[in-house]
Structure 1
Amino acid sequence: MRVLNYLEFGDRLRRSGIATAVDNQRRALEDSDHVVVTSPWAGGSTVRAGIERIGGGRAFAEYGLAHCNLVGPGTVAVAEHARQGGIPLVLHAHVTREDFAGSFRGSNAVGPALERYLRWLYSRADLVLCPSAYTEAVLASYPVETPIRPVTNGVDTDALAGHGELRERYRRRFDLEGPVVFAVGNVFERKGVPTFCRLATRIDHDFVWFGPYDTGPHADPTVRRLVRSPPANVTFTGWIEDVRGAYGAGDIFLAPTRVENQGLAVLEAMACGAAVVLRDIPVFEEFYTDGVDCLKCETLPEFEAAVERLASDPDLRTRLGENAKETARGHGLDRVRAELCDAYAEARRLAGGVTTD
């Protein structure tokens, strides 16, 4: 079957976890019976689609199932086309009101309107996918009037291979020494940047956050302040060209985030064998076990104790890291493939039967 796997604004989102999750989907489906197309538009672009339509042709490409990963106007158009044409529609809920809050200036204020919009859009699908049972419960509370199914974001271990070979290069590049505490991803307030920086003032180790940040008018004021004037032992790297260097350079992965739908960077850190310290939030209860593949904390003193304990105990770092690798292997692309194929079959059934490929 020809499947549309669509990421609206894909070029602008290449630095995001959503883009990584979509890359994982597409790589996983390469070894399936599905043929994946990534643009819904005839000719591959909205301009070409418009020309085709003016000439009496069709604006949309041909596919037997539509799977959309964002919530913008292009996705709304695909959803309407699917509904009119009887094409099974899968919407992937990478975006919720809860995880959008604390991302940009004003993101909290638009929360109520965003929730209403997401409830309307997701309810138009035949099936909604999301990264976790936690997110499923969030969507059900809106409520989304559509069957919801969790599917792991997965982790591409092959794409992370060789991270250790980059260790010295990236440590020299950012002047890092000793056990390094690190984070990976966009520098958002909800990701726990204030906690990351407060913790650094209490611990005499290098802290580094690998990932892009904004300092313009739309940036969160707290993030802008901390990035411009971080504690002396904190480095914000901005965008790096090879994320493997981040996982190679760091030793203790710190995720003090308040809200996640799964935590893709956590899975990547685990796949690389890092010792992981997490905030004890509901979604992490689904996937990670305190004292086995991570340490979980709630308060700043608990974070401090966990980091100091790991920094002084290389054997504990190794044990947690090896267990973390095993956890990550359980979220490999083979699992992503199986869960997506099962979800597509369910979506076709919910839409009313088998469609033409």
Structure 2
Amino acid sequence: MRVSHYFEGEGVVTGGFAQSVNNQRAVLDDHGIDYTTEPTLDCDLLHLNNAGPRSIYYAKRARRRRIPVLFHTHNTAADFRDSFVFSNALARPLKPFLAYAYGQADHLVCPSEHNQEVIADYTDTPSTVISNGFDGDRFAGWDDPELRAEYLDRYDLEPPVVFMFGHVIKRKGLDTFVEVARRLPEYDFAWFGYLNPTGGRLDRFLQPRETRELVENSPDNCTFTGYIEDPRGAPAAGDVFFWPSRNENEGMALLEAMHCGKPPVVRAIPTYEWLADGEDCRKVETTDEFVEAITELCEDEAERGRIGANAAATTDRFTLEGVGEQLVGLYDELVSGPTNERTPTG
């Protein structure tokens, strides 16, 4: 089997989106599947990861050649909102565009059941839920005491540290993060990750004024580290994972933090119905509840350990090994089965 595994925007699009593509390619490597990262029709399967004009062009050509097309539904209009300048204005026309793009595929991969439900309102293209998974090897050694001391010292943090990992954008709950930090001056809050949606290329232009002001006017106990080269630094320094995101297709940073045994405090959004409040997370809805849950976990080391251990156990089913078997199984099904039985959108 030869796969054209194309990621339009590669090298520009960063964060969990890009890491999910890396995860897929790690799966292909582990299973010995021949693939190219270029869009081509010299393949048995075209797997697309970002809805752009070039991807749509090759999807149409592949369908005409009876080459099965698989599209990963990383993007939704709701997930696009509150990310960078003009993102809210662009979100409205994005939905019909994505509906058209996903309608060109034979099959879709949705990273969560919630994402699948959202996408069902875009297109009737058949879909399968397969998690983006996480690469645990990236975090091997996160619990090294020297690494913890290094990152605590680098950012002048005093445990217990409340932390976040990911792009600094409003959709991720930036305003809530800052407000909770302001209301809990006795604890240090650290947000590890890019201070802009593109990883530093057009940051001042693309970052909304409100985002810049929230960061600039955050309290003294709130630290924004910017990009860190070693992702292990975040769980090494952090003790309670604060994930106030308002909309996620899955949330890879959450899986990674849980894998490292960090108890997560999450917003109660539909994406996280698979998490059990009080068992492997604290799930809340209001700022007051965030303050209460974080305070309790910071003050109770045993409870942090209990929920953290449960969180780590929960992520066992999201490893690349398990996710990889599902993805490769879908590849086999699409390549060996009939293609082009659907009429693509448009």
- The interval holding the TM-score normalised by the smaller chain is over 0.9
Q: Compute the displacement of 1:61 (Å).
A: 5.9
- CA RMSD across the alignment: 1.4
* CA distance in structure 1 between the partners assigned to 2:333 and 2:174 by the alignment: 40
1:159 maps to 2:116: no
Gaps of 5+ in 2: 197-202, 342-346
Gaps of 5+ in 1: 41-59
2:231 maps to amino acid: V
1:95 corresponds to which residue? 75
The residue correspondences of 1:337-356 to structure 2 (distance < 5 A) are 337-348=324-335, 349-351=337-339
Choose the corresponding residue for 1:275, options 244, 263, 277.
Answer: 263
1:179 corresponds to which residue? 160
- CA deviations 1:155-178 (Å, max 9, x no partner) are 111121011222111111111012
The residue correspondences of 1:191-340 to structure 2 (distance < 5 A) are 191-203=172-184, 204-214=186-196, 215-285=203-273, 287-340=274-327
**Residue 143 of structure 2 aligns to a residue in which SS?**
helix
Contact 2:56–2:104 (Cα < 8 Å) also in 1: no
* CA distance in structure 2 between the partners assigned to 1:65 and 1:121 by the alignment: 17
- CA deviations 1:263-293 (Å, max 9, x no partner) are 11000000111111000111101x3111111
Structure 2 length as normaliser, TM-score?
0.92
* CA distance in structure 2 between the partners assigned to 1:334 and 1:264 by the alignment: 16
Contact 2:109–2:130 (Cα < 8 Å) also in 1: yes
- Judging changes above 3 Å, is the alpha-carbon distance between structure 1 residues 147 and 226 closer, same or farther for their aligned structure 2 residues? same
Contact 1:126–1:350 (Cα < 8 Å) also in 2: no
Deviates more, 1:106-115 or 1:76-85: 76-85
* CA distance in structure 2 between the partners assigned to 1:36 and 1:281 by the alignment: 36
- Judging changes above 3 Å, is the alpha-carbon distance between structure 1 residues 194 and 350 closer, same or farther for their aligned structure 2 residues? farther
* CA distance in structure 2 between the partners assigned to 1:344 and 1:190 by the alignment: 33
**Residue 89 of structure 2 aligns to a residue in which SS?**
coil
Q: Compute the displacement of 1:73 (Å).
A: 2.2
* CA distance in structure 1 between the partners assigned to 2:313 and 2:29 by the alignment: 24
Deviates more, 1:121-130 or 1:228-237: 228-237
**Residue 232 of structure 2 aligns to a residue in which SS?**
helix
Q: Compute the displacement of 1:226 (Å).
A: 1.4
* CA distance in structure 1 between the partners assigned to 2:338 and 2:18 by the alignment: 27
1:2 corresponds to which residue? 2
Contact 1:278–1:296 (Cα < 8 Å) also in 2: yes
Q: Compute the displacement of 1:201 (Å).
A: 0.8
* CA distance in structure 1 between the partners assigned to 2:249 and 2:338 by the alignment: 25
- Judging changes above 3 Å, is the alpha-carbon distance between structure 1 residues 96 and 350 closer, same or farther for their aligned structure 2 residues? farther
Q: Compute the displacement of 1:33 (Å).
A: 4.8
1:106 corresponds to which residue? 86
* CA distance in structure 2 between the partners assigned to 1:295 and 1:350 by the alignment: 45
* CA distance in structure 2 between the partners assigned to 1:329 and 1:39 by the alignment: 32
Contact 1:3–1:63 (Cα < 8 Å) also in 2: yes
* CA distance in structure 2 between the partners assigned to 1:120 and 1:61 by the alignment: 21
Structure 1 length as normaliser, TM-score?
0.90
* CA distance in structure 2 between the partners assigned to 1:350 and 1:248 by the alignment: 49
Q: Compute the displacement of 1:130 (Å).
A: 1.2
Q: How many residues align?
A: 331
Contact 1:68–1:92 (Cα < 8 Å) also in 2: yes
